[in-house]
Homo-oligomer: A and B are copies of this chain.
Amino acid sequence: MPKATAVNPAPRRKAEVTREKLIDAARVVFSRDHYQNARIADICAEAGKAVGVFYRYFNDKQDIFIACVDQFFEDLNRASPPAAEFETNTLGAIRQSTTIYWIKYRQYYGVVAGLFETGMVNPEIAGLWHKVRDNGMKRFAFRIRKQHAAGKCLDLDPDIAASALMGMLEFSCYNWNARRLDFQNREIDDETAIANLFTLLRNALQM
C-alpha cells in the first residue's frame, strides 16, 4: 500500500519543524516567565534544543517574539467574524468578536502580555501591537460613523472613541485573564466576562 501522501502531506523539512518547536517553546516560556525574564537558553531548553540552534532561525528574542505575535495575529483574524457579518448582524458580530478576543487573549496570554509590556518600551513592538488593535478599531470607528448618520453618538470622535473602546476590550481581556486582583480573586466565568464587555460596548455605542 503506497504512502498516503495526499492525506498526510509530504513531511515538512526538518528545519521547519525545528523552527515551529522553537516558536511553541517561546510561547510557553513567555507565558511562564514574561518576555523580560525569558532567556534564550530557556526557550531552547523548553524546545529540547541546544542554544546554538536558536540563531539559525532567529536573530534574537525580539525576533522570535514577533514570530509568536504573527501566529497570534493570524489565529485571531482567522477566528474573528468576517467583515460582512458586521453589516448583516451587527450586534451578533460584536458579541462574537468580543468572545474571540476573550478566548484568544487567554490562549496566547504570554504573547499578549509581552505585547503590552514591550510595546510600551519598544516602538517596533508598539507597531505590531497597533496592527493587532487596528482591525477592531476600524470596525468601531465605522460603527460610530454609522451612528452619526443616524443622529446618534454625535459627541464621539470616531477614531478616538474607537481607540478607547478597543483599549477597554483588550485591556480587560488581558487584565481579567492575568489576575483577579480587581475582584478580590473572585472567579469570572466566560459568560459573565463576555456579557459585560458586550453590554458596555453596546451602551457606549448607543445601539
Contact = CB atoms under 8 A, between A and B. Distances in A.
Interface of A: 34, 36-37, 113, 116-117, 120-121, 123, 126-127, 130, 133, 137, 153, 155-157, 159-161, 163-168, 171-172, 175-176, 178-179, 181-183, 186, 188, 192-193, 195-197, 199-200, 203-206
A68 to B, nearest CB: 16
Given A120-B116, A130-B182, A199 B160 contact: no
Contact of A161 (B127, B161, B171, B200): B200
Nearest to A186: B159
Nearest to A33: B121
A171 to B, nearest CB: 4
A95 to B, nearest CB: 12
Contacts of A37: 121
20 contacts: A36-B121, A116-B116, A117-B120, A123-B179, A126-B181, A127-B181, A130-B181, A133-B182, A153-B199, A156-B196, A156-B199, A159-B182, A161-B196, A161-B200, A164-B200, A165-B200, A167-B168, A167-B175, A171-B171, A203-B203
A183 B164 contact: no
Q: Give the most central of A113, A117, A172, A203: most B CB within 10 Å.
A: A203
B120 A178 contact: yes
Contacts of A166: 182
A204 B200 contact: yes
Contacts of A160: 176, 183, 188, 192-193, 196
Contacts of A159: 182-183, 186
A23 B166 CA distance: 34
A164 B121 contact: no
Nearest to A200: B204
Contact of A200 (B137, B156, B188): B156
Contacts of A196: 155-157, 160-161, 164
Contact of A168 (B168, B176, B205): B168
